[in-house]
């Protein structure tokens, strides 16, 4: 509490402890990784240093007597509609440090959330709805280039040579999170869940640890601007390869894994020395045009004997539709579009909160553009960036996505409470940390189970929603915008999303 610069001593949360209910079990003390809780042996008291609290709720959820409440610091600056609390605190922080403010997770600003302004249609009388408990309901999704036409011989067998496809048992995948940004246990949780669910997880740009090669058939291996961990074995180990151009949380900038996070396992996997910073440049230094991108796509296809689909992931930005069209023409089999609510392990706050566009509109415009150009079938479209539940996913597919990527939701299933401290490497929930003591807080057995539960629950809800729309296959929902209506949207918004106003 002492020796702090008062100009910087503004903090967000207060740990309230009901001492009548405290049994001195010291659970809160051992669980806090930010040194906010202490035990004073002499007084036999537990107390808190509120200014260290990040509001991650690790202590309050673990407290066996529920004696802890994490509350917003009631300290209030004079109310000012222009200078909101966070504007003031950020300013003070920077005046104190002179640094860029770094944060984790996705854009948390109250931009309009279009999912909440779209509603789903249902069958009544004139067209029957389907009961998914009684009738088959197909969620299986194929990602990859589809042929212009399909030829079938007289026995009914397809004779057209098909491009390689990813087969998803449900249209949800785990989005790119690198080994290093999340620890091994979380990677293993995600990989195990993907395998059990019959879907895919994505290595991000951290490479694939040797011990996770067994999950290769359910792995999308990423090739990003830093090329960390990329080798022929790596490319061939996965089911698909993804070229990462951009990320929704920080479009246009690169990545930076600080040297202190580069421990033995990460060093080996990324193929860089222990303790060195892993810097991913903002652009790929060999890609300055669609033609350059095409070269990389085909180099990767060549390296994997054209057996694996290649995906290109971009951040959702203003002219995303035109870029996507170029990517499709460059030979990509899948395009992943990451909206600005997508998470990150570390990004400048000013960028996270102000750059990029929502995935809802990006998907709508990309799908629209590809259809208009007659190349929609040449490429699959994966939406990413802030999916919170099954209805968001249903709406994304109705807007034109083939499948979605989730990462923030996945981490939440494993424990994340969105405290946005990922960049500090001290995650109390043991997710975005490589500290050996904290990392073991995620037991992959439990992590995988919880992920499987979440995706199963969402898949069942998706089936229910398909059923009420009278649809028995997810394929029939794709781009089926007539199933959506807008509520509280302007005409231009409805136009952009290409949906009708509710009531019409």
Partner 1 sequence: MTEKINEDGMKIVYPREQWCIACNLCEVACMTEHSRTKDPLRAYLIEKPRPVSRTKVEYLPPVAVSVMCRHCAEAECVEACKNGTLTRDEKTGKIELDRDKCLGCWMCIMACPYGVITQVRKEEKAVANKCDLCPDREIPACVAVCPNRALVFEDRG
Query: Should residue 62 be labelled a site residue for partner 1 when binding is judged by CB under 8 A?
Result: yes
Considering the complex, state which of residue 23 and residue 150 has its C-beta at the smaller distance from partner 1.
23
Dump the DSSP string for 209-220: -GGGGGGGGGEE
Q: Which stretch binds partner 1 (CB under 8 A): 98-106, 231-239, 244-252, 441-449?
A: 441-449
Residue 219 CA to its chain's centroid (Å): 15
- The residues, ordered by sequence, that sit 6+ positions from 431 with a Cβ below 8 Å of its Cβ are 182, 183, 186, 411, 414, 415, 416, 422, 442
Query: Should residue 21 be labelled a site residue for partner 1 when binding is judged by CB under 8 A?
Result: yes
Least distance from partner 1 to the Cβ atom of residue 485, Å: 43
For residues 160 and 415, the answer to whether their CB atoms sit within 8 Å is: no
Dump the DSSP string for 101-112: PEE-SS--S---
Query: Should residue 38 be labelled a site residue for partner 1 when binding is judged by CB under 8 A?
Result: no
Query: Should residue 35 be labelled a site residue for partner 1 when binding is judged by CB under 8 A?
Result: no
Among 12, 85, 373, 435, binds partner 1 (CB under 8 A): 435
Considering the complex, state which of residue 352 and residue 441 has its C-beta at the smaller distance from partner 1.
441
- Kindly provide the residue ranges of all beta strands, DSSP E only, lying in 75-228, ordered along the sequence: 102-103, 118-120, 141-143, 166-168, 172-174, 201-202, 219-223
Among 7, 16, 64, 160, binds partner 1 (CB under 8 A): 64
Least distance from partner 1 to the Cβ atom of residue 455, Å: 21
Query: Should residue 264 be labelled a site residue for partner 1 when binding is judged by CB under 8 A?
Result: no
Query: Should residue 280 be labelled a site residue for partner 1 when binding is judged by CB under 8 A?
Result: no
- The residues, ordered by sequence, that sit 6+ positions from 198 with a Cβ below 8 Å of its Cβ are 167, 168, 169, 170, 218
Least distance from partner 1 to the Cβ atom of residue 30, Å: 4
Least distance from partner 1 to the Cβ atom of residue 26, Å: 6
Query: Should residue 112 be labelled a site residue for partner 1 when binding is judged by CB under 8 A?
Result: no
Least distance from partner 1 to the Cβ atom of residue 58, Å: 10
Query: Should residue 31 be labelled a site residue for partner 1 when binding is judged by CB under 8 A?
Result: yes
Query: Should residue 69 be labelled a site residue for partner 1 when binding is judged by CB under 8 A?
Result: no
Least distance from partner 1 to the Cβ atom of residue 25, Å: 5
Helices within 273-415 (DSSP H only): 290-303, 320-329, 349-352, 359-372, 390-399, 408-414
Least distance from partner 1 to the Cβ atom of residue 408, Å: 22
Among 3, 436, 492, 504, binds partner 1 (CB under 8 A): 436
Considering the complex, state which of residue 214 and residue 445 has its C-beta at the smaller distance from partner 1.
445
Query: Should residue 260 be labelled a site residue for partner 1 when binding is judged by CB under 8 A?
Result: no
Among 129, 443, 460, 496, binds partner 1 (CB under 8 A): 443
Among 69, 72, 440, 500, binds partner 1 (CB under 8 A): 440
Rounded Cα–Cα distance for residues 415 and 408 (Å): 10
Number of residues that bind partner 1 (CB under 8 A): 20
Considering the complex, state which of residue 26 and residue 72 has its C-beta at the smaller distance from partner 1.
26
Reduce the DSSP state of residue 260 to 3 states and report it.
Answer: helix
Least distance from partner 1 to the Cβ atom of residue 68, Å: 13
Rounded Cα–Cα distance for residues 144 and 66 (Å): 50
Rounded Cα–Cα distance for residues 163 and 165 (Å): 6
Least distance from partner 1 to the Cβ atom of residue 450, Å: 12
Considering the complex, state which of residue 176 and residue 442 has its C-beta at the smaller distance from partner 1.
442
Among 26, 109, 140, 456, binds partner 1 (CB under 8 A): 26
Least distance from partner 1 to the Cβ atom of residue 204, Å: 24
Reduce the DSSP state of residue 166 to 3 states and report it.
Answer: strand
Residue 438 CA to its chain's centroid (Å): 22
Considering the complex, state which of residue 121 and residue 449 has its C-beta at the smaller distance from partner 1.
449
The structure tokens listed for 205 are: 């740009």
For residues 209 and 250, the answer to whether their CB atoms sit within 8 Å is: no
Q: Which stretch binds partner 1 (CB under 8 A): 237-245, 284-292, 435-443, 482-490?
A: 435-443
Least distance from partner 1 to the Cβ atom of residue 23, Å: 4
Q: How far apart are the first and last CA of the chain?
A: 60
Task: Please report how the helices 320-329 and 290-303 are oriented relative to each other, as an axis angle in degrees rounded to 10.
Answer: 40
The structure tokens listed for 284 are: 């790929």
C-beta pairs of 268-273 under 8 Å, 24+ apart in sequence: 268/209, 268/210, 269/179, 269/180, 269/206, 269/207, 269/208, 269/209, 269/210, 269/229, 270/179, 270/180, 270/206, 270/207, 270/228, 270/229, 271/207, 271/228, 271/229, 271/231, 272/228
The dihedral through the CA atoms of 431, 436, 438, 441 has a sign that is positive
Least distance from partner 1 to the Cβ atom of residue 42, Å: 19
Query: Should residue 25 be labelled a site residue for partner 1 when binding is judged by CB under 8 A?
Result: yes
For residues 338 and 372, the answer to whether their CB atoms sit within 8 Å is: no
Rounded Cα–Cα distance for residues 425 and 497 (Å): 39
Query: Should residue 24 be labelled a site residue for partner 1 when binding is judged by CB under 8 A?
Result: yes
Considering the complex, state which of residue 396 and residue 427 has its C-beta at the smaller distance from partner 1.
427
Least distance from partner 1 to the Cβ atom of residue 20, Å: 8
Query: Should residue 430 be labelled a site residue for partner 1 when binding is judged by CB under 8 A?
Result: yes
Rule CB under 8 A: which residues touch partner 1? 21, 23-27, 30-31, 62, 64-65, 430, 435-437, 440-441, 443, 445-446
């Amino acid at each position: 509490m002492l020796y702090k610069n008062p100009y910087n001593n503004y903090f967000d949360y207060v740990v309230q402890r009901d001492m009548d209910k405290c049994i001195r079990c010291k659970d809160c003390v051992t669980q806090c990784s930010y040194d906010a809780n202490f035990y004073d042996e002499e007084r036999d008291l537990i107390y808190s240093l509120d200014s260290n609290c990040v509001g991650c709720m690790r202590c309050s959820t673990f407290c066996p007597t529920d004696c802890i409440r994490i509350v917003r610091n009631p300290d209030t600056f004079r109310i000012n509609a222009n200078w909101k609390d966070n504007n003031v605190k950020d300013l003070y922080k920077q005046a104190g440090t002179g640094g860029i403010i770094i944060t984790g997770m996705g854009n948390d600003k109250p931009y309009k959330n279009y999912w909440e302004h779209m509603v789903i249609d249902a069958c009544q009388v004139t067209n029957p709805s389907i009961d998914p408990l009684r009738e088959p309901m197909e969620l299986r999704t194929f990602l990859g280039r589809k042929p212009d036409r399909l030829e079938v011989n007289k026995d009914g067998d397809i004779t057209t040579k098909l491009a390689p496809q990813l087969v998803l048992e449900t249209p949800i995948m785990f989005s790119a999170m690198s080994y290093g940004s999340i620890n091994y246990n979380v990677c293993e949780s995600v990989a195990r869940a993907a395998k059990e669910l019959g879907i895919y997880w994505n290595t991000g740009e951290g490479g694939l640890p040797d011990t996770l090669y067994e999950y290769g058939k359910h792995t999308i291996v990423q090739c990003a601007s830093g090329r960390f961990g990329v080798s022929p074995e790596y490319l061939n180990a996965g089911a698909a390869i993804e070229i990462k151009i951009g990320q929704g949380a920080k479009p246009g900038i690169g990545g930076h894994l600080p040297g202190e996070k580069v421990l033995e396992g990460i060093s080996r996997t990324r193929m860089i020395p222990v303790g060195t910073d892993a810097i991913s440049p903002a652009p790929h230094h060999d890609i300055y045009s669609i033609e350059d991108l095409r070269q990389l796509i085909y180099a990767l296809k060549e390296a994997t004997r054209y057996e694996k689909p290649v995906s290109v992931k971009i951040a959702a930005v203003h002219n995303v539709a035109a870029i996507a069209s170029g990517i499709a023409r460059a030979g990509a089999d899948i395009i992943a579009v990451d909206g600005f609510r997508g998470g990150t392990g570390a990004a400048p706050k000013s960028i996270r909160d102000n750059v990029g566009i929502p995935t809802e509109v990006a998907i709508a415009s990309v799908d629209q553009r590809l259809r208009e150009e007659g190349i929609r079938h040449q490429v699959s479209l994966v939406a990413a960036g802030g999916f919170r539940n099954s209805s968001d996913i249903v709406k994304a597919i109705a807007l034109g996505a083939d499948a979605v990527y989730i990462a923030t939701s996945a981490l939440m299933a494993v424990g994340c409470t969105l405290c946005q401290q990922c960049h500090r490497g001290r995650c109390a929930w043991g997710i975005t940390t490589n500290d050996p003591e904290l990392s073991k807080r995620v037991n992959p057995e439990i992590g995988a189970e919880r992920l499987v539960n979440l995706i199963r629950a969402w898949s069942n809800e998706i089936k229910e929603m398909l059923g009420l729309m009278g649809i028995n296959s997810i394929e029939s929902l794709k781009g089926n915008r007539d199933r959506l209506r807008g509520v509280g949207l302007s005409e231009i918004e409805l136009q952009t999303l290409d949906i009708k106003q509710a009531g019409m």
